[in-house]
Structure 1
C-alpha cells in the first residue's frame, strides 16, 4: 500500500513537471513564431515588430523545460543505457547494476539541485537581471530548482523501486 502510494506520487509529480515543461515549450514556439513574423513585418511600418526580449524568454524557458523533463525521463527509465554486457551478469547482476545506477543518479540529481539552489541564492543576493527585460535571474533559477528537486525525489523513488524489483 505504502509503496503503491509512493509510486503514484512520484509518477504524478514527474508527469506534471513534464506536462508543464511541454506547455512552456509550446508557448515558446508560439512566441518565436510571433516574433519572427513581427520581424518580417517591420519593413511595412505598420507598428508590428519582434517580441521584446525573445531571446531571453527562450533561454529562461528552455532551461526550465530541461529540468522539467528530467523527472519523467528518470521515472520511465528513459536515460541512456549501455546493455552491452547485460547477458553476462544475469538477473542478480543486472538488479545490482540497476540499484547502483539509480543511487548514482539520485546523488547526481541531489548535487544538481543543491548547486542550482546556491546559484539561485547568489542571483537573488546580487540582484542580477536579464539585459533587455530586466527580469530577476533568481526567478529563472527558482523555476529550474522546482524541476531539479522533483528530479531528486523521483530518482530516490527509483532506488526504492529498483530494490523492490531486485527482491522479487
Structure 2
C-alpha cells in the first residue's frame, strides 16, 4: 500500500513540476516577445494565470502528502505522542473536509465555464480544460490528504514533519 501511495505522490509531484516549467517558459517567451519583437505571446496572461492556479493545486496535493507546510504546535507540544497523533489526524480530517468542498466548487466552476463557452481574450481558447486541470489538482489533493491521514493513523508518518521515504521504508521493515 505504501508503495502505491508513494508512486501516486511521485506522479503528482511530476505533474506539479511540469506545470511550473510550462508557466515559466510561457512567461519568459512572452517577455522576450514583448521586449525584443514588440509582440507578446497571445493569451499568455490568461493561460499563465490558469496554469499557475493548476500549479498551486497540484503543489497543494504534494503538501497534502508530505505535510511540508509551516505549522506551530504550541498546544500539542506537551501532550503524549498518542494524543498528538490523534489531534493531527483530526486536523487533517478537517482539512480533508475543506479540500472536498474546494474540489466540489471547482467542479461546478468547470461546468459553468464549459456551458457558458468561456474563452480566453485573444485567441478565444476555451478555458474549461485548464480549469479542469485545476480541479484535477484538487481531486489529487483529496487523495494525498487521505493518504496522509492513513499514514498518521497507522503510525507510518512522523507527527511533527512530513512523510519521508526513509520513515516509510523503516515502517515496512526494509
Q: Superposition RMSD on alpha carbons, in Å?
A: 1.9
The two structures have a TM-score, normalised by structure 1, of 0.84
> What CA distance in whole angstroms lies between the structure 2 residues aligned with 1:140 and 1:108?
22
Q: What is the count of residue pairs matched by the alignment?
A: 157
Q: Does 1:83 align with 2:81?
A: no
Other-structure match for 2:28: 33
The partner residue of 1:42 within 37, 45, 50 is 37
Larger % of helix: which? 1
Aligned match of 2:10: 15
Q: Is the 8 A contact 2:66 2:148 kept in 1?
A: no
User: What does 1:3-152 correspond to in 2, within 5 Å?
Assistant: 5=1, 7-42=2-37, 49-152=39-142
Taking the aligned partners of 1:92 and 1:41, their CA distance within structure 2 comes to 61
Unaligned residue ranges in structure 1 (runs of 5+):
44-48
**Ranges of 4+ aligned residues in structure 1 off by more than 4 Å:** none
Q: TM-score, normalised by structure 2?
A: 0.82
Compute the displacement of 1:87 (Å).
Answer: 2.6
Gaps of 5+ in 2: 157-170
Larger Rg: 1 or 2?
1
In 2: Cα distance, 1:36 partner to 1:157 partner: 40
CA distance in 2, matches of 1:71, 1:10: 12
